[in-house]
Amino acid sequence: MSTPAATRTHCPYCALQCAMHVETGPGGAPATRPAEFPTNRGGLCRKGWTAAELLGSAQRLTRPLLRTDRDSAFAEADWDTALDFVAERLMRLREQRGPDSVAVFGSGGLTNEKSYLLGKFARLALGTSRIDYNGRFCMSSAAAAGNRAFGLDRGLPFPLPDVGGAEVVLLAGANPAETMPPLMGHLAGPRLIAVDPRRSATAESALERGGMHLAPRPGTDPALALGLLHAARTEGLLDTAYIAARTSGFEAAWRHAAAFWPEQTEQVTGVPAEQVRAAARLLATANGAYVLTGRGAEQHAKGTDTVAAWINLALALGLPGREGSGYGCITGQGNGQGGREHGQKADQLPGYRRIDDPAARAHVAGIWGVEAADLPGAGLSAVELLDALGSETGPRALLVFGSNPAVSAPDAEHVRNRLSSVDLLVTCDFVMSETAAMGDVVLPVAQWAEEEGTMTNLEGRLLRRRAVLAPPAGVRTDLEVISGLARRIGQPEHRFPADAGTVLDELGRASGGGAADYSGVSAERLEAGEEVFWPVPDPAASTPRMFLDAFAHPDGRARFAAVGHRPPAEETDADFPLIATTGRLMGHYQSGAQTRRIAELAAAEPEAYVEVHPETAARAGLAEEQWAHVVSRRGTTLARVRRRADARPDTVFLPFHYGGAQAANNLTNAALDPLSRMPEFKFAAVRLEKADGAPPA
């Protein structure tokens, strides 16, 4: 492996997309060091510093693997054999059972070019409506709430450095001190109000610097947001001029908030009434304030309404669409923003167009050189798609790009059963993930530093991902895999190019005129170092701050949502008396398929654990560091006990980065939000039991 002198690119992990240099390190192996950039400002977290280790890992996949019998071992195959095998099986299934017998599952970590070409491949080459992606688990509720409120969804409709100039920032269900450490540099100046059932590292930071930690009972965030709105109105702190001039629907929203005076809010959430009043005053009287939401607000069967309740609070205080204040959602995955804009989501076409919009269908079909009637309609959301696998009317083949649903999906044991029931499971990955190990074909693909492409970070900022070194011999890019399969299925070669620049040019044309318009984006602009934020309708355009003059609804007004509080999808009882909630650790990322293979990160957090209040652990007969079973109505997780005196006695916390018996998603609930179709990761009724013996290797 030959690594050139320092080449600037971006981190492979979260949506901060921190800039870094990749260069030759000690012993000649590639190494990373931070680069100056607005999001990370010359810093990296532990994951960024160690990101290059996986490039040369002995666990890299470098040859296609194939087996015709799930009971047999994988055998190496050449690329022609592997792709011919996949294409033949796909075509046979389509002929026998129709195009929807084949499904595609993508990722919020794919580049814009891959996301775009994957959606095109599913709908044109395969003719299937069955495509969705793991971003459905990450950002879909915030996207649904943002579209409803503002007419457009961009995670942060302002550059991240703007936040540092505020006096107060409320973080609802976000823990950037662990999940995005460089982001905390932007929060060094403002006073923080951290809303989290846990005393997270972010909550600790808020308290240390004179801010607040509001710790609601899991599942009661909407009630807390309603209570804050009630307190602000009662004390005359709403921006009534802004509400009248720039919004609609306030009175309908207020009818729900009217029932949540602070004492009632305390009864529902457990947050003391005086804290509710104090937080409302702090936020409403600040000289510049932001409300930012994260996965803790979204990952519920009522996630869209929960985010909407926080947006209502921000609107009532006059924050969105003003310089120095605003509302935003902290996107999680590396390309969580771009990944949901260009067609790998079940109901979307490129440019954030709706697939059921006749004008959108006609535009995209024209770019693709087909008739609009040739495009399938909306498909199933991620959980519904996985649940349908292998059924009589569901998909019998699944192609997975950049995702690990055997670990990351809710009710994971059920999902693993569905994955094992299909006739053909194909994964494109660079390590043997838990999902890949279950399949029939594993195709080895390039990593982040071995390919060109673009990403869209949490600010809507377009970034250039550069190829620093060549992939190992025998490895292809995802674009090359898609192109090779499309040709074998009978598509003309020009329709599915494998060159990222060519795909970006076509993506620009296909997105042109859409909500997420990339038509003015070019590799040359990004290479020149321009700051480019979408929408980019022409080569001179960039939109770093949105909504300053008007929101994206036809009348230019933001919409309050008439949302209230309702219970979670399941409740605790005598058999399952505790609430389990899940989250991330500083040293791991998503399903852990990458980070668990990096020595330093694996050594720091080698196994799953469960955070428990000491009294709760004692009632279950569990000591510190003892192995326990955490049991829900769906499954069981094995985790080592960590007792924390500041934990809620009714709640346990588990990180979700581990597989097999230690997978937190063995517990979680696949109940779906009715609008976003996001599952309820953050609330599962559980009990604790002693576990005998050591865990399996």
Give residue-wise pLDDT tens across range 206-227. Answer: 999 999 999 999 999 999 999 9
Are 26 and 92 contained in the same domain? no
pLDDT at residue number 332? 86
pLDDT at residue number 166? 98
> Do the domain assignments include residue 552?
no
* Concatenated DSSP letters of 541-581: ---SS-SSS--SSTTS-EE---------SS---SSS-EEEE
For residue 696, pLDDT over 60 is answered with no
CB count in 10 Å sphere of residue 554: 8
Q: What confidence tier does 529 reach under pLDDT thresholds 50, 70, 90?
A: confident
User: What SS3 state is found at 432?
Assistant: coil
For residue 291, pLDDT over 60 is answered with yes
Helix (H) or strand (E) holding 425: strand 424-429
For residue 1, pLDDT over 70 is answered with no
Supply 388's token pair. 């349908």
> Do the domain assignments include residue 98?
yes
Please name every residue paired with 191 in a beta bridge, in sequence order, or none if there are none: 168
For residue 491, pLDDT over 60 is answered with yes
Read off the CATH number of the domain in which 16 is found: 2.20.25.90
Single out the residue in 303, 330, 357 at which a domain terminates.
Answer: 330
Sequence-separated (6 or more) residues with CB below 8 Å from residue 58: none
> Do the domain assignments include residue 463?
no
Mean predicted confidence (pLDDT) in 132-146: 94
Q: Tokens 């929060």 sit at which residue? A: 187
Are 301 and 343 contained in the same domain? no
How do residues 420-454 score in pLDDT, each as one tens digit?
Answer: 999 999 999 999 999 999 999 999 999 999 999 99
CA 508 to chain centre: 23
Q: What confidence tier does 61 reach under pLDDT thresholds 50, 70, 90?
A: very high
Q: Is the peptide bond before 535 cis (omega within 30 degrees of 0)?
A: yes
How do residues 550-579 score in pLDDT, each as one tens digit?
Answer: 999 999 999 999 999 999 999 999 999 999
Are 677 and 583 contained in the same domain? yes
For residue 28, pLDDT over 90 is answered with no
> Do the domain assignments include residue 442?
yes
Cβ(677)–Cβ(384) below 8 Å: yes
> Do the domain assignments include residue 509?
no
Number of domains in the chain: 4
Are 261 and 347 contained in the same domain? no
d(Cα 648, Cα 652) in Å, to the nearest integer? 8
Q: What confidence tier does 695 reach under pLDDT thresholds 50, 70, 90?
A: low
Calculate what percentage of the chain has a pLDDT beyond 70. 99
Are 45 and 94 contained in the same domain? no
Q: Which residue segment(s) compose the domain that 311 sits in?
A: 140-330
Read off the CATH number of the domain in which 416 is found: 3.40.50.740
In this structure, are strands 348-349 and 424-429 parallel, antiparallel, or unpaired?
Answer: unpaired
Supply 90's token pair. 């796909």
Cα–Cα distances (Å) from 210 to 273, 293, 570, in that order, read: 19, 21, 36
Burial (CB count <10 Å: 0-12, 13-18, 19+), residue 342: buried
For residue 239, pLDDT over 90 is answered with yes
Mean predicted confidence (pLDDT) in 126-147: 95
Q: What confidence tier does 252 reach under pLDDT thresholds 50, 70, 90?
A: very high
Single out the residue in 56, 75, 94 at which a domain terminates.
Answer: 56
For residue 2, pLDDT over 70 is answered with no
Are 324 and 221 contained in the same domain? yes
Q: What confidence tier does 694 reach under pLDDT thresholds 50, 70, 90?
A: low
Query: What is the longest distance spanned by two Cα atoms in the chain?
Result: 71
Read off the CATH number of the domain in which 274 is found: 3.40.228.10
How do residues 499-509 score in pLDDT, each as one tens digit?
Answer: 999 999 999 99
Supply 379's token pair. 């498909």
pLDDT at residue number 25? 87
Are 201 and 308 contained in the same domain? yes
- Measured in degrees and rounded to the nearest 5, phi and psi for residue 510 equal -70, -35
Are 427 and 302 contained in the same domain? no
Single out the residue in 308, 330, 352 at which a domain terminates.
Answer: 330
> Do the domain assignments include residue 520?
no
How do residues 378-427 score in pLDDT, each as one tens digit?
Answer: 999 999 999 999 999 999 999 999 999 999 999 999 999 999 999 999 99
Q: At what angle do helices 478-489 and 79-97 cross, to 10 degrees?
A: 50
Read off the CATH number of the domain in which 602 is found: 2.40.40.20
Cβ(396)–Cβ(23) below 8 Å: no
- Average of per-residue pLDDT values in the chain: 96
Helix (H) or strand (E) holding 509: helix 500-511
> Do the domain assignments include residue 35?
yes
Are 299 and 181 contained in the same domain? yes
Are 340 and 388 contained in the same domain? yes
For residue 6, pLDDT over 90 is answered with no
- Going through 550-664 in order, the beta strands assigned E by DSSP cover 558-559, 578-583, 609-612, 627-632, 636-643, 651-655
Q: What confidence tier does 692 reach under pLDDT thresholds 50, 70, 90?
A: confident
> Do the domain assignments include residue 456?
no
Are 208 and 271 contained in the same domain? yes
- Measured in degrees and rounded to the nearest 5, phi and psi for residue 653 equal -125, 140
Are 167 and 308 contained in the same domain? yes
